[in-house]
Amino acid sequence: MGQSSHQGVALSDGGQVHPAGRLPWRRLLIDRAQSRAGGAVAAERHIQPSSRRDRPDVVAHRGASDLVAEHTLRAYRSALEGGADGLECDVRLTKDGHLVCVHDRRIDRTSNGRGVVSTLPLEQLQQLNFETWKNPWADLDDEHDEADAPPGVVLTLKQLCELVHDWPRPVQLAIETKHPTRYAGLVERRLVEILARFGWTRRVGDGPAPVRVMSFAWMSLRRVRDAAPAVPTVYLMDRVAKRYRDGSLPAGAKIAGPSMAVVRAHPDYVDRLHARGHAVHVWVVNDPEDLQLCVDLGVEAVITDRPADSLVSLRDRM
């Protein structure tokens, strides 16, 4: 999953690209207000946020990554302590078959080491510091809980699942598989094995599933669906392919994950997704105006680097 962007985005059928200004969605919201004033028939064409819940779920993108080094235990604890409804992470497979929470193919940007994740064993990764790039003093912290991994140590998916499982309130976990990868289907197989250990590959009751798997690669989602049909899958999009512009998604995907840039440029696309029965989870939502747009469009979840700020903003708006 990429970073927040304010660039215009086209539907990939060659449709018009809107600039980063707010004109497209302002026009849509004006049209919505006029439609509601026109009667119930017009109103039925749009799903209003009040028909589902008061606000979208706030999911912490790589933890509270605006303030704390991404994908670290500290970042995820900070997000949960700030009230985040869910956590988002990226996973990659190490040379010796462990899933670790790392976004980039290489570790150069987020650690004091160099190399490709898939060519390095977990033990070697654990010798590096994944916090000092953001906080130069992280390796001097001698006040961490000895029961946890020391600050800055690479976080495994299993450790993150333990944090979510043991947290004193329900927490959602959104896991993105990174592709392409040299290990093909092994990533999904290991992922499902870990989720099964926590009992998350089967649905219990009617509440929301505690975990969902996201990817830009439909084949990855298909592997997860085949291995664990009860685990919801999210199809991520940084543009909308022509075959999906009507609001449909690849077979088996029930949740759409468009970028904020797509939603900003084509807000009516959210209506099409909802009309097809798909929930919409938008990434990365850091700007207050973008957050308000997501509320107005009735999206079900926003993925943000600033979960605490987003929650405060949402509470102030409600």
pLDDT in tens, 73-115: 999 999 999 999 999 999 999 999 999 999 999 999 999 999 9
The predicted structure's pLDDT at residue 38: 43
The predicted structure's pLDDT at residue 12: 56
* Domain-located, residue 194: yes
* Domain-located, residue 119: no
Is residue 274 part of the annotated active site? The answer reads: no
* Domain-located, residue 146: no
The predicted structure's pLDDT at residue 42: 33
Structural domain that includes position 248:
51-68+81-104+155-317
Q: Which of 18, 46, 61, 278 is catalytic?
A: 61
pTM score, two decimals?
0.84
* Domain-located, residue 46: no
The predicted structure's pLDDT at residue 141: 57
* Domain-located, residue 1: no
Q: Mean pLDDT, 10 residues at a time, over the chain (318 residues)? A: 59 48 54 46 32 82 98 97 99 97 98 97 98 76 53 94 98 94 89 98 83 96 96 98 97 95 98 98 98 98 99 91
Name residue, tokens 């009309």.
275
Q: Which of 18, 98, 103, 281 is catalytic?
A: 103
* Domain-located, residue 299: yes
Is residue 46 part of the annotated active site? The answer reads: no
Select from 276, 277, 274, 280 the least CA-distant residue to 300: 280
- On the CB side of 176, CA atoms within 13 Å amount to 27
- Please give the structure tokens belonging to residue 121: 């064993």
* Domain-located, residue 271: yes
User: Which CATH number goes with the domain that contains 238?
Assistant: 3.20.20.190
* Domain-located, residue 29: no
The predicted structure's pLDDT at residue 146: 44
Count how many domains the chain has: 1
What is the Cα–Cα distance from 79 to 148, expressed in whole angstroms?
A: 17
